[in-house]
Amino acid sequence: MTSPPRRLPGEGTAHTVEQSAGELARLAMARMDETLGWYRELSAAQRSQVGLVAQAGISQFVEWLRQRERHAPSAISIFANAPQELTRAVSLRHTLDLVRTVVDVVEARATSLAGPGDEQLVLESVLRFSREIAFAAAEVYAGAAEARGAWDARLEALVVDAVLRGEADDSMQSRAAALGWDDVAGVTFVVGRAPLAASSPDAPAATVDSLRRAARHLGVEALAIVQRDRLIAIVGGTRDPLPVVEHVADRFGPGPVVVGPTVPHLFAAGRSARAALSGLTAAVAWPGAPRVVESDELLPERALAGDLPARRRLLDRAHRPLTESAQSSQSPLLETATAYFEHGGSLEASARALFVHPNTVRYRLARITDVTGYDLTRPRDAWAVRVAVTLGRLGGTGATPGPAVGLSDAGQPAPVGRRGLEESSNL
């Protein structure tokens, strides 16, 4: 059923409103300057753009007042002269403040503008028009937010890909700045399997949005992409990322979520990425790995898989302190560790092999913990030190493990390639 035409005000009223459009716009601008703090903080150019929007709105109202259509004209034309950047400087809430201010000004002048008997009609027209404009403004801002979201997702994918490739160049710097990451400190690379549902077309965007929201709820920043079967996140703004990753771990698919070392800023995140990706590859060798695991906890597996930086780090952490103790006047810690391994972790058997008292072995084990950070009475720590000792001895013979599967000869992740980038950014 067609709605009846809208009742129009008298010609005198419409003419008076039309003649007063400029004055109404001037009064509205003065009222905004008087009552809206955010408006006073805008630059001169932005204030001018807001003024154009207000004038366009009043002009559209005058035009609509003469027409019989019940619905107000599209507000797209009202915002047409305003640049896209204005939606960043002026929020939707501010735009509604603008609409409310103009309505208040017109309402205050309704009696003097309307002819006899048209006062209520003018008031109703103002309220109906302002309602339509408010809904249209929400639509404009929703469209702007959607466009920004798509662009940000593309920038995000490019930044993460640059981190994966170790390309901390000017283009990465500008993209990071556009995302607000140019001054974020305490950056950590995190990787795990993507959720099984992420194979559907819309799932990657929903997955990364959920991860970002959860991270921001904890007060940290997060970049995230789904790349083939991996969910990659870069967490920033914290030096202690483990609680954050544990909180968002349910966004990842099955298997371990590997946390790389924290680096000072995004442009050094390549080191964190290499460690985390190497850890994800090597984690299959540790069936009992915790759900959230630091890449350094996977040093033995990474070293055996051919990750040369992991091999060097494990040797520096576990093998070198033991060999240095053997060359100094300190206790022969390397000899003690070897005996402890070869005798199944038995204090008494190790003591007999070393011709010392069991308490001496106990003391030396404590010293090993002090200098390496590994407690040989714990099976996992003993395994790490045993791998380090073995690799250290192999290093003395010139033997070098080959590169790990998925790593380049330099022990770095192989580049993802154009196809991987397209898949990761197709959100």
Give the CA distances from residue 8 to residues 14, 103, 110, 276, 314, in Å, rounded to whole numbers and listed in that order.
9, 19, 15, 69, 84
Give the CA distances from residue 177 to residues 54, 96, 101, 270, in Å, rounded to whole numbers and listed in that order.
32, 30, 35, 17
Q: What is the Cα–Cα distance from 10 to 32, expressed in whole angstroms?
A: 30
Q: What is the Cα–Cα distance from 53 to 98, expressed in whole angstroms?
A: 9
Contact 384, 279 (CB under 8 A): no
186 torsion bin: left (phi>0), alpha (psi -120 to 50), beta (else): left
For position 18, what pLDDT does the model report? 78
pTM of the model: 0.63
Give the CA distances from residue 323 to residues 313, 317, 368, 375, 377, in Å, rounded to whole numbers and listed in that order.
15, 11, 11, 17, 20
Type of residue at 99: V
Integer-rounded Cα Rg, in Å, for the chain is 34
Instruction: Please report, to the nearest 10 degrees, the dihedral formed by the alpha carbons of residues 192, 197, 203, 204 taken in order.
Output: 20
377: burial class by Cβ within 10 Å (0-12, 13-18, 19+)? middle
For position 425, what pLDDT does the model report? 40
For position 421, what pLDDT does the model report? 39
For position 147, what pLDDT does the model report? 53
Q: What is the Cα–Cα distance from 226 to 201, expressed in whole angstroms?
A: 11
Contact 67, 16 (CB under 8 A): no
Residue 189 in tokens: 């690379």
The CATH class given to the 308-397 domain equals mainly alpha
For position 57, what pLDDT does the model report? 75
Q: What is the Cα–Cα distance from 149 to 146, expressed in whole angstroms?
A: 5
Q: Domain 166-295 is of which CATH architecture?
A: 2-Layer Sandwich (3.30)
With b meaning 16 or more CB within 10 Å and e meaning fewer, what string describes 123-156? bebbeebbebbbebbeebbeebeeeeeeeebebb
Question: Taking the mean position of all CA atoms in its chain, how far away is CA 169?
Answer: 20
Q: What is the Cα–Cα distance from 255 to 387, expressed in whole angstroms?
A: 24
Where along the chain do its domains lie? 11-147, 166-295, 308-397
How does strand 230-236 pair with strand 263-265? Answer: unpaired
**Could you state, in chain order, the average pLDDT of each consecutive group of 10 residues for the chain (427 residues)?**
57 76 82 84 81 76 67 55 60 72 76 72 72 66 58 77 82 81 92 78 78 91 90 94 95 96 93 96 95 97 95 95 75 91 94 94 95 95 96 69 46 45 40
How does strand 257-259 pair with strand 221-227? Answer: unpaired
With b meaning 16 or more CB within 10 Å and e meaning fewer, what string describes 264-284? ebbbebbbbbbbbbbbbbbbe
Q: What is the Cα–Cα distance from 317 to 307, expressed in whole angstroms?
A: 15
Mention every residue, 6+ apart, whose C-beta is less than 8 A from residue 373: 317
